[in-house]
Chain A
Amino acid sequence: MEFRIEELRSSGEYHIWSFDFAFSSSLEISTQQIKSVLPPNIHPMEIRPGVSLLNISVFDFTGESHTLTQSCVEIIVGIHILPHLGLAKELPKMSLFLLQMGATTTEFLNSPDAVDVQPFIKKPLQVEIDRENISVECCDHKGEKIFLMQKQNNSPVYSPDLFYIQTFCNQGDSLYSGGVFLESNKFEHQKKSHPIGKFHNHSFFQGIDVENLDTSDCYIQTWSKPGSQGTEFYTPFKQY
């Protein structure tokens, strides 16, 4: 793994971002509910007939990460979709269609290295991260609640991992593909015990009814060890 990380670092192909906390949950959601927000040639990855996955991810980027001077939290809402292996750097652990993204600083939102064709909300979000209890609360710039997301497992066993995620997004009729390699000391689990939080029907979710989701139906959850350094190797999007 060390060798591969070095290869990624030295290739010069990637924007390299450092984070010291990341947290992601994939919630079960009816395919009917998300079909309308996907472009026609993008297909959800169903885990069961009629059941897709809505992904909510949080990255806490450290200051002096890539071209940033301030630390910044990035929020991503995406849908698990079928990959396109012909466009992938390697076999992706998952493919996501990026539905909505946000960040907590104007520096990040104004950085062309961070914001390209992705669907970013223009105004900075307000995000509170509780690293001890593994929870994230996210509000818009006016303080209106978007979500509260918590862990669902109390016995994390962290281990180093490096994997690739393929990403897609659209702008108008144009579809773009990109991807990230993520390296971190992480824990991943599937234990369902209780609801993982509260999601509000905010415009951030693009009209998807998230308020009525049973959030104990969390298919998979991942977080990096709080305070440990993780790295995102990001390839800019290309039109597909």
Chain B
Amino acid sequence: MDDSSNIRPDKRQSYTYDMFLYSMGEGLDEMEEFQEWLSYLQDEKIYGFEASRQGPQSSKIQISRADGEKLEVLNFAHYNYLGLGHHSEVIKAAQDAVEKYGLGAASAPPMSGTNSIHKILEEALISFYGLQNYGVSLFTSGFGANVGTIQAFVQPGHHVVMDEYAHMSILEGAKASGANLHYFRHNDMESLAQILEKICQNRNRVLVCVEGVYSTNGNYGRIKETVELAKKFGAFTLVDEAHSSLLAGDKGRGVAEMQGVLEQVDLHILTLSKSFSGVGGALIANEKITRYVNWYAKCRLFSCSLDPGVTGGMIKVLELARGSEGDKRRKKIVENASYFRSLLKGKVDIGSSETWIVPVIFGPEKLTLGLYDFVQRKGLDVSVMQFPAVPKNEARMRIFITSEHSREQIDQAAQIVLETANHFNF
């Protein structure tokens, strides 16, 4: 093809229906296109993604953008919700663990990669949940916890039914399992019932997958009703509490606890990189399930165990989160989120947010890159999302509130959001 015949669009606004670049053919066209796009944005100094943090994920940080520019920003772009990732006792616990066990586990968990520190974390999690005959499967990521659990729990011929806003890792697990896939409309019990009615007649295993808090909207999943419906049809439920464990519920055991169905949920999935401040994931379920998953989740069996340092740190996080420190921080994050929403409500569209994740919907996808750059330069770092991760014309900033944000920082962040809304006319 003659390059001179190309009519190039404005790369600040270009997007595809699929967002991800693909290409048929033998050439590496999609990679070249992507490289060209990135280089353009970096040369124009409007690329806000991949900015490196110069310290821990705290409320105010310095970032170094891909173009080399350094900015001081209020950090509302991370999910160290309870701020325990840089707590002095947590750091000390991680250091002690590294000293005792070394840097890596050097083997997969069922083989020789389980250190005594992993067993301590498992026991702490079981004790935290306080459920009889329950076990834990630890994974090296929250993504892996969903993929591995679902791939092990259902097989070809079985069914996975997902909320349409379920996380990519749930979808990837469902795909890896070879089971039949179904989507129901977001939080819509009628839509779920219609699917279950159809597929549960075949007396086959059915797994319904939902989330405690949906990360694009910041709203709660209807866990209680989902569990009741699933039980009625003989289906199992998986609840991903990635954005709600240590946060929702009286004791921080998630939305399942908050809605009074902790014991009725079959599979609890935790992400250890959010409120737990480390990295990894966990399945909490009946022991006979976790024992099986320990061996049959391929991404667990064929992957090295959690590193001891992070594991040691997370044991301390759990200890703090279970105590008065956790109660105090849980109360604070709820207050902070409620205060932040009150500053924005009626002035910008925050959708159906009712938690510590507050979307600010600005609409057209073509604004995303420019807006992200603008917000960062105003001194606020957030996360941005657009179609197809969210519906068309509902592109948004996603703002993570933590217990560590001060009133003043929240006021400043809200002010920048409103200035941005004024500037971009939404």
Contact = CB atoms under 8 A, between A and B. Distances in A.
Contact of A41 (B8, B24, B29, B364): B24
Given A49-B175, A49-B181, A87 B25 contact: yes
Given A91-B33, A220-B17, A48 B9 contact: no
A83 B19 CA distance: 12
B7 A181 contact: yes
A188 B392 contact: yes
Contacts of B5: 11, 13, 89
Interface string B10-45: 000011111001111101011011000000000000
Contact of B22 (A4, A82, A87): A82
Given A8-B7, A45-B18, A82-B23, A87 B1 contact: yes
A131 interface: no
Contact of B16 (A42, A49, A91, A162): A91
A103 B171 CA distance: 41
A93 B27 contact: no
Contacts of B25: 84-87
A195 interface: no
Contacts of A84: 23-25, 29
A43 interface: yes
A226 interface: no
A130 interface: no
Contact of A91 (B9, B174, B387, B391): B9
A7 B181 contact: no
A169 to B, nearest CB: 15
Contact of A4 (B7, B15, B33, B391): B7
B393 A190 contact: yes
Nearest to B172: A49
B249 interface: no
A28 B18 CA distance: 14
A42 B24 contact: yes
A94 B6 contact: no
B183 interface: yes
B209 to A, nearest CB: 14
Contacts of B181: 48-50
B92 to A, nearest CB: 46
A188 B393 contact: yes
Contacts of A119: none
A11 B18 CA distance: 29
Contacts of A11: 5, 7
Interface of B: 1, 5-9, 14-18, 21-25, 27, 29-30, 32-33, 171, 174-175, 181, 183, 364, 387-388, 391-393
| Complex A-B, nearest 10 residue pairs according to Cβ-Cβ distance, in ascending order | A85-B29, A190-B392, A85-B23, A84-B24, A86-B29, A190-B391, A94-B17, A86-B27, A82-B22, A84-B25
20 contacts: A8-B7, A11-B5, A41-B24, A45-B18, A49-B174, A82-B23, A83-B23, A84-B29, A85-B23, A85-B33, A86-B1, A86-B27, A87-B25, A91-B16, A91-B21, A162-B9, A163-B9, A189-B393, A190-B387, A190-B391
